[in-house]
Structure 1
Amino acid sequence: MVKLLRRASLSDLPVNKPLEWSIYDANNNLILRKGIVISMPGVAEKIVNRGYFLGEPNPADTKNNEQPNEDERDDIALREPVFVLATELITSISRIHKIVLSPPSTLSRIEDLVLQRARQLIQLLKRNSDAVLAALYLNQSNRETRPVKHVLGAAIAYLIAMQSCDDEAQLLPLICAALTRDISLYHFDHTSSHIDIISDHEYSRIKEHTVTAVRMLRKHGIQDEAWLRYVYEHHEKPDGSGYPHGKKNHELHEFSMILSLADTYAGMVVANQRRSGILPGNSLKEIFVSKGSLCLEKHIAVLIKKIGIFPPGSLVQLNNGEVGVVKSYCQNKKNPEVYVVSDIKGFPKAEPVLRDIKQPEFAIQSSISLGKCKVAMFSIKKIWQDL
């Protein structure tokens, strides 16, 4: 039995320094091993708020007093469900965006902050990409949607790009670009609420926002040319109809075109102040119709292969009238894993129930919008609580 010493306090949990004691819960379950480095913001506060204890480490836990390797240090990000961590990532990116929108400061270290979050997102996607996609799609209400679009676009860009590139060093600038691509559009989010009455001046600013975003990032010390190029080019299109310079396929970096596709998808499925989000399946159909002109067909094919026509988090109406949520794609677009969260009368279920959609009564009849299932959101989040 581990000897618990006392409850941990913030002074016991220095950031970016090895822990002097192991951390345990009240049942003597090891939470963090002595020597692990806490680097993620908010972790120390969670340890204190949950009432965890300092403890004398069990020899079996200390692995003969070996120092933790990088994977073990990163493992702190895996102590909670991916769905929860992906949701928290939205808030983290929102905070970083607010710093970028402020005057540059030598204290902000924007590049380090974004790189840290990019690595965290990649780690979460490797662990369970379905839970990440579901969290980003389902957590649109009651929050600013711009950060949701950035993180969802970054996740989609990674899933497409990793099909042809498994070098994380090359993928990181793409993810960083995705997390900061539309940083200069926040002003537009808080102007007119109707897209059809945008002034000529505002429209010009929108068309120039990639140039403005690059300028803002440079002012905050970003010098990675790949990162900046992807931001600059992410609204260019293969047929030359994009902006700011109407470049065509052969003039564009492939990652820029991948980011353009990811941005298009995220921009369609995530609601904003002017419109409701388009259903994921309908968005994919619209994107597929545009293949060759707005997005490369090979990239669209990879996207559909990765997330299916009913992406994780999609709400669906079953033939018997129940409402379900797609948990995972299962590499089979015809038979995604669906959990029912609302009965035929519209009442939310206390616990999600897995349905075999191959059975006629449980077959998917149609997709439905998030707004039609707000009352079941508590039940929906339980689907990914252990992942």
Structure 2
Amino acid sequence: MVDHYRINIADIVIGEPLPWDVYDESKRLLLGKGHVIATERQFDELTERALFIDSSAAAGLANRKCENHSAKQALPSALRLLNSANKRLERLLYNLTNDQDARGKVLDIARSIAEAVDINPDIALGCVLLNQQAHRYTIRHCLDTAVLTAIVARGMKKGDDETLVMMAAALTMNVGMLRQHDELQERSEPLSDRELENIRQHPQQAANILLQCGIDDPTWLSYVLLHHENDDGSGYPLGKGVGEISTNAKIIALADRYCAAVSNRRYRKPLLPQSALRDVFLGAGKPRDPTLAAYFIREIGNYPPGTFVRLQNGEIGVVTRKGKSATTPVVHALIGPRGAPLAFPIQRDTGKDLYAIREPLSGEQGALRFSLQQLWGDEAAL
């Protein structure tokens, strides 16, 4: 053999026969065609080797990848839908009063987000934590809130039409202070009394703007108007109390607070998801709606998708989906026990003692470089 071509470890599948001979860097045969990698341990050992195949095998592999790529291009991507929805939402909200079909366009964006949740709710939820740098906070926060609102509403078995209106309200809840919101991201000094009053009035301002745009659905408007009210009467702008705030408005409000808490802001670091849940439902030491708290905890979990974690064996990875319990999600390891990056993400069952979660990590502590497609495949392709 004259030429050898390096392959990616991801080209090898546990439990399937090798379609070619595999060599090491010195062109010594490591594994013969038809050999089956049967265990994770064998697989892990290969990640430390440089693997090669001969030129004729490489040609077949290239053709197969080309065919697979063409087929995958037609597959829907939750990430692509969410990124597109964000761009459309940004164009729409900053020019909302000039749009004659504002209602229809907001609902279309909400449907796109719902489709992304349908494709893979773990990716949609993971984007709240992992896709923060892709878009400006002001718009992305509304989209994140709509995602979490949809996931919780579906967990509560709410109908599609009802959920869609809740999502539309989440997307438009801050239209009364968009530009001020942008400015606040750059600020470090305390807010003036006037700025604080503008913040307190933004739900009412948002409802007024929506009315001007022809969005007169009273349910939609009520969700926007009430998304900062609290059962104890401490909210704004109306100081509503128990019995005056609908359950759906509370869902949007809690999703809003959670997504804000886990987001990186210029003036503060994000909370870890578990701390954010505690902060949202035990704010100022006052417990909020225990029924809704149970739904949020069930749908988000102690370690939601996108959470960085360190495992008992020392590996560092990212939670990619729920496990058998709230404390045993599925994790894809990206950093090995000795601190070296793995050649590709390796799935770990945190229900096993060796791979149990030792601690959650902040994004800075994780310090990992990866694409969402590496974790979730083509449903997270750009």
TM range (shorter): 0.7 to 0.9
**Aligned match for 2:323, one of 307, 327, 330:** 330
Change (3 A) 1:144 1:348: farther
The letter for the 2-side match of 1:288 is F
Q: Give the corresponding residue for 1:147.
A: 139
User: Offset of 1:293 from its aligned partner?
Assistant: 4.9
User: What are the Cα deviations for residues 330-361 of structure 1, in whole angstroms up to 9, with x where unaligned?
Assistant: 35212100001123454433311012323333
**Aligned match for 1:309, one of 288, 299, 302:** 302
SS at match of 1:190: helix
Change (3 A) 1:273 1:215: farther
**Aligned match for 1:121, one of 88, 101, 113:** 113
Q: Give the corresponding residue for 1:299.
A: 292
1:180 partnered with 2:180: no
User: Offset of 1:189 from its aligned partner?
Assistant: 2.9
| Structure with the larger RCO, 1 or 2 (CA within 8 Å, 6+ apart) | 2
Aligned length, in residue pairs: 313
* TM-score w.r.t. length of structure 2: 0.75
**Aligned match for 2:236, one of 237, 243, 247:** 243
**Aligned match for 2:223, one of 223, 230, 236:** 230
SS at match of 2:342: strand
Q: Give the corresponding residue for 1:197.
A: 190
Contact 1:130 1:328 in 2 (8 A): yes
- State how far apart, in whole Å, the 2-side matches of 1:112 and 1:324 are: 41
User: Offset of 1:169 from its aligned partner?
Assistant: 1.8
1:350-365 aligned within 5 A: 350-365=343-358
**Aligned match for 1:285, one of 271, 275, 278:** 278
1:171 partnered with 2:171: no
- State how far apart, in whole Å, the 1-side matches of 2:95 and 2:324 are: 39
User: Offset of 1:199 from its aligned partner?
Assistant: 0.8
Contact 1:238 1:292 in 2 (8 A): no
1:82-161 aligned within 5 A: 82-100=78-96, 103-106=97-100, 109-161=101-153
**Aligned match for 2:332, one of 339, 344, 357:** 339
User: What are the Cα deviations for residues 90-146 of structure 1, in whole angstroms up to 9, with x where unaligned?
Assistant: 23322222222xx5243xx21111101111222222332111111232110253012
- State how far apart, in whole Å, the 1-side matches of 2:320 and 2:284 are: 28
- State how far apart, in whole Å, the 2-side matches of 1:355 and 1:273 are: 34
1:80 partnered with 2:73: no
1:370 partnered with 2:366: no
Contact 1:130 1:312 in 2 (8 A): yes
User: What are the Cα deviations for residues 280-301 of structure 1, in whole angstroms up to 9, with x where unaligned?
Assistant: 1111122232499573111110
* TM-score w.r.t. length of structure 1: 0.74
Q: Give the corresponding residue for 2:200.
A: 207
User: Offset of 1:30 from its aligned partner?
Assistant: 9.6
Q: Give the corresponding residue for 2:55.
A: none
The letter for the 2-side match of 1:149 is H
SS at match of 1:366: strand
Q: CA RMSD in A?
A: 2.7
- State how far apart, in whole Å, the 2-side matches of 1:372 and 1:241 are: 36
**Aligned match for 2:378, one of 357, 363, 386:** 386
Q: Give the corresponding residue for 2:41.
A: none
- State how far apart, in whole Å, the 2-side matches of 1:138 and 1:174 are: 24
SS at match of 2:183: coil
Structure 1 unpaired stretches of 5+: 1-25, 32-49, 51-77
SS at match of 1:327: strand
User: What are the Cα deviations for residues 339-386 of structure 1, in whole angstroms up to 9, with x where unaligned?
Assistant: 0112345443331101232333322111112233454233x5411123
SS at match of 1:383: helix
- State how far apart, in whole Å, the 2-side matches of 1:89 and 1:245 are: 31
Structure 2 unpaired stretches of 5+: 1-65
- The structure number with the bigger radius of gyration is 2
Change (3 A) 1:127 1:194: same
